[in-house]
Structure 1
Amino acid sequence: MSSEAFSQMVDTYLSNNTQLDRNERGAITQWAAALSGSAVGGVIGGTTGAQSGAAVSLDAERYNRQLHPDEVARIKQLSGGDKEKEARLKAAACALVKCSAEFTVGSADYVKAQALEQLGNSDAYATDRAQLASQSGSQLVYAMGSYANANLPMFGYSISDQTGDALSRYGVGTRIGGLVQTTEGEFQALGGMAMCTTGVACLAGSYLAASGIDTAYAGANSFLSGISHKTSGAYLLEGLGVSPAYSEAIYGFSQMGAAGFGVWNGLRGEAIAATGSVPGTNDILSTPLGQRPDPAAYMTPEYISQDLALFDEGATKFMTETNFNKYGIGQIDGTSFVLAKTEVDMLMKNANGDPARLEQSLGLPSGFFSTGNVVRVDIPSPGDFNLRMPSGNEAGANGFWIPGGKLPNNNAEAIIDAGSILPSNYTISPVKFK
């Protein structure tokens, strides 16, 4: 058939089907241009032959997704290298396998596929449809517990095809995936908020929570519409130049990194709490005084917060009355090591009047209490004086100091700024043993 005759046939078809809307008529015109070897509506560039070949490929791969590889091969065999004949047979095949049935009604893909299907269903393609409907081929089938070859009709529309199209048309797979994505995003957001306490952990937790909400929102849209929706994070990355093919993956990896940091941070806190020691203790102790790292660099915010919470009922320190009268409660740098009042009360009770036992519990030199010149200083509100974990850089850090805010006996210790403390901020009492 010549291009002129084919174009006349398409014009007649469009004239006789006035119910087609503008999108459907445009799609048919575009397919007709591909079939006749002319340019495809200015969308596909190149020579006329290349345009026709590209259109045929688009036809086969996008709108004839139900065609078995044997059926595609049969069309090529029947067309004998004639691209126009091959395109006609593929349009007829689209009609036979109902290629528009998998798409959501009204979608752009549905409009294009339906236009091709209607064209393939027209009277002008009756011979092409009949030729394909008469084809059969050998297929491997399972029956009576074994596989065997059987000669079966080709270009059909089976129950399994109908089921698959229904699932695709209503976006069942996409909706299920969207529901799963929504759930995952919600859990991620909750996990991120749980991570957020202070410092770097809060930054990572905030990002994880925000990206989790973004993921859940995109999943909810996919679930409701049946159409896959990208996350805002992916669109942001694309705006920065990331390829759309990789934007979601990169966004996902960034979330995995934040989650991994949260897991590591949590495990580190559990290790410190379980062992009472800080990883890298020897390295910290071997670092010269004044150059030791901030505790936040090797302890989790959760651990620091829990340890300092032991001082909510007050802080206590022991010192000789002579030093108290001469220097006050602070060291030369204005800091002061303090113990948790509740723990001191318990230790004194357990010592049962034995000064040696109390010295051992507090890690104090032997005979410290035997001078009879020791006072106890209680600070009711240590949080008012910059209560914090000791770094080991303080003037009062001696050879018994260890990282982690703990004494050798695992009782808590902390640091306050004593330079600004007033006598009204603490009480002092002599330590006496029976």
Structure 2
Amino acid sequence: MGHPLKNAVEPLLRALDDTPIHVKQLAEMFRKHGANSKRNGVEITDLDDKDVVPDGLQNGWKKDGPTPNEIVGAGKGNRPDPSEYLDEDYIATHLDQFTGGATRIYKTDSLLDWGPGNNQVPGNATNTAYVFPTDKLNELMDQVNSPQDLAHALGLPSNFFDGGDVQLRDFGPDELSGLSMPSGNEGGTDADKWIPGGYLPSGIPEAVIDIPHDATGWNNGDGVLDQSRWPGSWRSLDL
């Protein structure tokens, strides 16, 4: 029989040891992929710092679900549905940020060639597109000082806006079919940088929507570029 105090304390210590594992892993991911973001700078030393992991995500993670490392490590096409590791309330609150509409940035040449959707991984028939809340993207564009700053904030290559025409496509609230938390299995997912939880390292929320199969471009359609099939509306991007 052990000491009564030791018997009472050890389970508590084990519980405390277990609880922050997912937070540490998430923080490390956000720091790794957010080196160019102010909120992920070298001054941050505490991996549990709430300024690294977006507010709500720390408490929204199910303690009995897979860890961030397990999810990312499963690889694109094999990652679990976010409902397996994120609380229902967290997911609902996250998606509420998109009720005013959502926006995606496209390179015009690619948009004309392939349409507004990304083909899903094999076995999943739905085309999708990653989107940002329109209001939050507009705020971000008002705050950045250069196209390079915007690219960094959105997790894009630093030269994304260099050369070639780029445009926005706004999807109204009634065009957000299939609005959902990204699983990391979607077409267009950067397998090396994607982080579970629905945020970029800069703190910008992201989600995915369904794109109709006939919303195609020159290279994947029926030889007719019919933009009337495309959801959303065009808007120029002025930086």
Q: TM-score, normalised by structure 2?
A: 0.62
Contact 1:276–1:410 (8 Å) recurs in 2? no
Please say if 1:388 is aligned against 2:180. Answer: yes
SS at match of 1:311: coil
Residues 180-233 of structure 1: per-residue CA shift (max 9 Å, x gap)? xxxxxxxxxxxxxxxxxxxxxxxxxxxxxxxxxxxxxxxxxxxxxxxxxxxxxx
Alignment-derived partner of residue 405 in structure 1: 198
CA contact (8 A) 2:117 2:129 kept: yes
How far does residue 425 in structure 1 lie from its aligned partner after superposition?
3.3
Q: Which amino acid letter does the alignment assign opposite residue 274 of structure 1?
A: D
Q: Is contact 1:276–1:406 with CA below 8 Å preserved after alignment?
A: no
Distance (Å, rounded) in 1 between the aligned partners of 2:184 and 2:142: 29
2:135 equivalent to 1:342: yes
SS in 2 for 1:274: coil
User: Could you tell me how far apart the structure 2 residues matched to 1:315 and 1:382 are?
Assistant: 10
Which of 112, 122, 129 lines up with 1:325 in the alignment? 112
2:103 aligned to which of 316, 325, 328: 316
Q: 1:371 aligns to what SS in structure 2? A: coil
Q: How far 1:282 moved relative to its partner?
A: 1.1
- Tell me the residue number matched to 1:91: none
1:294 has 2:87 as partner: no
1:275: how far off?
6.6
Q: Deviations over 1:222-274 (max 9, x none)?
A: xxxxxxxxxxxxxxxxxxxxxxxxxxxxxxxxxxxxxxxxxx9xxx9xx9763
Does the 8 Å CA contact 1:292/1:393 hold for their aligned counterparts? yes
User: Aligned partner of 1:336: which letter?
Assistant: A
State the match for 2:236 in structure 1. Answer: 430
Matching residue of 1:116: none
Contact 2:103 2:171 in 1 (8 A): yes
8 A Cα contact 2:175 2:232, kept in partner? no
Residue 372 of structure 1: how far off its partner (Å): 4.1
How many angstroms apart in 2 are the aligned matches of 1:413 and 1:402? Answer: 11
Q: Where does residue 274 of structure 1 map in the other structure?
A: 55
> 4+ residue stretches of structure 1 with deviation over 6 A?
none
Kept in 1, the 8 Å contact 2:168–2:237? The answer is: yes
Q: Kindly indicate whether the alpha-carbon contact (under 8 Å) linking 2:116 and 2:230 is maintained by their aligned counterparts in 1.
A: no
Query: Judging changes above 3 Å, is the alpha-carbon distance between structure 1 residues 424 and 323 closer, same or farther for their aligned structure 2 residues?
Result: closer
Q: Check 1:361–1:382 CA distance in 2 against 1; reply closer, same or farther (3 A cut).
A: farther
Counterpart secondary structure, 2:113: helix
2:174 is aligned with 1:368: no
Gaps of 5+ in 2: 1-18, 24-49, 121-126, 216-227
- Tell me the residue number matched to 1:170: none
Q: Which amino acid aligns with 2:69?
A: N
Deviations 1:155-188 (A, max 9, x none): xxxxxxxxxxxxxxxxxxxxxxxxxxxxxxxxxx
Deviation at 1:369, TM superposition (A): 1.1
2:33 equivalent in structure 1: none
The CA RMSD measured in Å over matched residues stands at 2.4
Instruction: State the distance in 2 between where 1:326 and 1:273 align.
Output: 36
Alignment of 1:34-113 (within 5 A): none
CA contact (8 A) 1:313 1:342 kept: yes
Find the partner of 1:283 among 70, 76, 94: 70
How many angstroms does 1:292 deviate by? 0.7
Q: CA deviation at 1:382?
A: 5.8
Tell me by how many angstroms 1:381 deviates: 2.0
Is residue 2:148 matched to residue 1:356? yes
Alignment match, 2:35: none
Rounded to whole Å, the distance in 2 between the matches of 1:382 and 1:285 is 32
Letter in 1 for 2:77: G
Give how far 1:384 is off: 4.1
2:55 partner amino acid: A
Number of residue pairs aligned between Structure 1 and Structure 2: 164
Give the helix-richer structure, 1 or 2.
1
Percent identity of equivalent pairs = 32
Q: Kindly tell me: are residues 359 and 273 of structure 1, through their superposed partners in 2, closer, same or farther at Cα, counting changes over 3 Å? A: closer
CA deviation vs aligned residue, 1:11-60 (integer Å, no higher than 9, x gap):
xxxxxxxxxxxxxxxxxxxxxxxxxxxxxxxxxxxxxxxxxxxxxxxxxx
For the 8 Å contact 1:372–1:431, the answer to whether it is kept is no
